Each structure stands twice: as C-alpha cells, then as structure tokens.
C-alpha cells in the first residue's frame, strides 16, 4: 500500500528523530536547482535528496548528519522501495542522480531514469 503523505508512515516505522535528521540533511543539500519545487509530498523530496547525496548510505555521511546509530541503510532503503512510491514524486530531485540512474531501483524502473518532475524539456 502506498501513502499520500509518507512522512507519517516513516515516523511510525522509524522515528520522528530520524525523519527530522533526514529533513535537515536534505535542507543542507538544497541549492535552488534541486529545491525550487519540493513537490506535493515534501518528504519524498527529502528522501530523494538523501538518496542522491548518500546521506543514510555512507558511514561518514551518516555521522555528519547525526544519523549514525539510527536505522540501517538497508532497512531504510527497503522501506523506501516498499512504501515511498518515489516514481510519483512531482517536484525536484538531485538531477545528477536522476540522469545517472541512482533512483532507478527505488522507483522500480531499472532501465531508465524516471521521475516525472513536470519540468519542461531542455531546449538548445
């Protein structure tokens, strides 16, 4: 089952503290390009930035963001794949991660990088 607002479900599974820390991590990495439109479910944007910047994946980044000792990478990753429905995100993300396929396993679309960001196509 997918949830319209996933932060509440994330907190039920993990903790308010971890959700707050991931939000803080995402805010640290926002740059105007990846954050001008955070979408209708802001926590999906948070997860996308944390995936793109490996905030909960690499030990040194987990320590930097204060999430070392919280839920493990594989546990968070599996929850995201099962419940977050990131392919339905309707805002910005880390576009470098998008075009290099980092999000593919999270969106269930292994062959092409896809998140419908509702952005106009790039035109030369």
Q: Is residue 79 situated within a structural domain?
A: yes
Q: Is residue 113 situated within a structural domain?
A: no
Q: Is residue 74 situated within a structural domain?
A: yes
Torsion of CA 17, 23, 25, 30, to 10 degrees: -170
Q: Is residue 1 situated within a structural domain?
A: no
What one-character DSSP code corresponds to residue 113?
-
- Quickly state the pLDDT bin for 117 (edges 50, 70, 90): low
Smallest CA-to-CA distance from 14 within 74, 70, 63, 62 is with 70
Q: Is residue 44 situated within a structural domain?
A: yes
Q: What is the pLDDT of residues 4-47, one digit of tens each?
A: 589 999 999 999 999 999 999 999 999 988 888 999 999 999 99
* pLDDT at residue 27, rounded to an integer: 95
What percent of the chain lies above the pLDDT cut of 70? 85
Q: Is residue 112 situated within a structural domain?
A: no
Distance of alpha carbon 50 from its chain centroid, rounded? Answer: 5
Q: What is the pLDDT of residues 46-88, one digit of tens each?
A: 999 999 999 999 999 999 999 988 899 999 999 999 999 999 9
What's the pTM? Answer: 0.83
Range of the domain at 16: 6-107
Domain count, the chain: 1
Q: Is residue 123 situated within a structural domain?
A: no
Q: What is the mean pLDDT of residues 90-113?
A: 82
Q: Is residue 117 situated within a structural domain?
A: no
């Amino acid at each position: 089952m997918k949830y319209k607002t996933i932060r509440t479900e994330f907190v039920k599974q993990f903790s308010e503290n971890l959700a707050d820390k991931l939000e803080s991590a995402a805010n640290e990495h926002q740059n105007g390009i990846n954050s001008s439109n955070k979408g209708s479910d802001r926590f999906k944007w948070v997860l996308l930035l944390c995936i793109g910047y490996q905030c909960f994946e690499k030990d040194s980044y987990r320590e930097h963001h204060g999430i070392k000792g919280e839920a493990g990478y594989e546990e968070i990753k599996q929850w995201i794949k099962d419940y977050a429905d990131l392919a339905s995100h309707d805002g910005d993300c880390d576009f470098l991660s998008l075009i290099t396929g980092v999000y593919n396993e999270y969106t269930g679309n292994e062959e092409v990088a896809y998140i419908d960001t509702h952005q106009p196509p790039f035109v030369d």
